[in-house]
Structures are given as C-alpha cells and as structure tokens.
Amino acid sequence: MSEPIGAVSTGIAAFTATNLDDIVILLLFFSQVNAVFRRRHIVIGQYLGFGVLVLASLPGFFGGLILPSEWIGILGIAPIVIGINSLLSQDEEDADNQAEMDLGNSPWKSLLSPQTYSVAAVTFANGGDNVGIYVPLFANCTWDSLLIILSVFLVLVGALCYTAYQLTRVPAIAESLTRYGSYVMPFVLIGLGVMILVESHTLESCSYVALPLLVAACGWILLNRNSERRLSEVENR
C-alpha cells in the first residue's frame, strides 16, 4: 500500500475511533439552535476545539513532551461548568434570545462569541483521550503523511457536523430533541465532565487543583446569576 493511501486509511481509522462519540454531543447542540445559538457557532466551535487537540498532540511528532493525562483531565471541569450554567439559565433563555437577536452574520463574531467557545471547550474536554492516540500516531509520521492525516481530519470534522445536523432533521429524532433536548443537555454535559475527571484519574492525582477550580467556577456562576437577577429586577422597577 502506498504512503498516501495508507495515511488516508490511518486518518479515517484514527478519527473514527476517537470522535464517533462526539456525534451525540453534536446532536444535542444542533437541537438547541435558536436566534442566539447558531449552527455556525457549533461548526466553528467544533473545528476550534478539535484544532487545539491536534496542536496539543503535535509535540509527539516533534519528539517533545506533553502534559500527563491527569492534568489533561482537568479539562473535564469545562463541560461541568457549562452544564451547570445551562441548567440554571433555562428559565431566562427565551428572554436572552430576544435581547440578542442582532448578533449579525459575521464569521468573526461567531469565532469570538461565547457560544463558539462553549462548544470548543466541550469538544476539547471530551477529546482528552484523543491526545493519547494522536501523539504516538503523529510520532510515526513523515511530513507528507502528517499533512495527509490532518487534511483527512479536517474533512471528517465537517462530515461529522453535517451528519449530526442531518440527523436532527429526521422527524422522530428532531421531535424528541426539540421536546427534551434542552432538559437533557445540561445533565449530559455534567456527566461528560465527571466521566472525563474519573477516567483520567484527575480526582485521584490532582484533586488539590481540580476541586478548588470546580468550586470556584460554580461559585462564580452563582454570583453572576444573582448579579444578573438583581440588575434585571432594578431595570424592571
């Protein structure tokens, strides 16, 4: 088998093995699309999060060192925080959507938006195991095969997003996601974050860092929600 064909096959196999579970998260994301949270936020966020994963894996190609898996697992805090924030803000979602309908269609606004960063953070946190696979994979690549594999990855990220979006248009799936997606999504994100923390043994090895960060993030969310509620009450008087 020639090197280009082998690199394409390797890229497809590696991407499928490490990203197939992302389709469930993408399904839930696409089911939440509204005037504020657009499809472009999901696609750009997915590419951004996956791109950071690839960058974190490139030291394997250059023979460098990366952070141990326990420290990478700290990223599991991101989906937990996003899930908690989503759970607490469900009652205010409609009001926020109406207030922010004029975001515009600029791709730069989408790239810099908190919605995009939320998707990217979840993608990156959920891909902690990707690094463990991509590092040795890249370490055995030549420049040519590395470029081919990365090109395959970029194409497949788009294909994954497109597949997830099309699945939300299937009547049975769309109806279920529309009815229950907003309620399920926060718990899926929280469960995903906990699973990342547990499977990476972060709570065992780095609890002195992970737990204070999680408590601080949850405290910040509560303080921010209370401040917004008080400001809203003052404005409505």
In whole angstroms, give the CA distance from residue 52 to residue 92: 32
Q: Where are the beta strands (DSSP E) in 19-66?
A: none
Neighbours of 193 (CB within 10 A): 25
Give the rounded distance of the alpha carbon of 195 from its chain centre: 14
- In this prediction, residue 159 carries a pLDDT of 94
> How many Cβ atoms are within 10 Å of 232's Cβ, its own excluded?
11
What pLDDT is attached to residue 147?
Answer: 92
Dist CA 87 CA 190 (whole Å):
10
What is the model's pLDDT at position 111? 59
Place of tokens 């809203």: 232
pLDDT in tens, 70-81: 666 676 787 788
Quote the pLDDT of residue 99.
Answer: 41
- Cβ within 8 Å of residue 77, ≥6 positions away: 125, 193, 197, 210, 213, 214, 217
pLDDT value at position 161?
A: 94
Q: Quick one: pLDDT at residue 103?
A: 43
- Spans of the chain, pLDDT less than 50: 64-65, 94-104
Residue with tokens 């093995």: 17
For the record, the structure tokens of 231 come out as 């400001």
Convert the pLDDT of each residue in 111-152 to its tens digit: 568 888 889 988 888 876 677 678 767 877 788 888 999 999
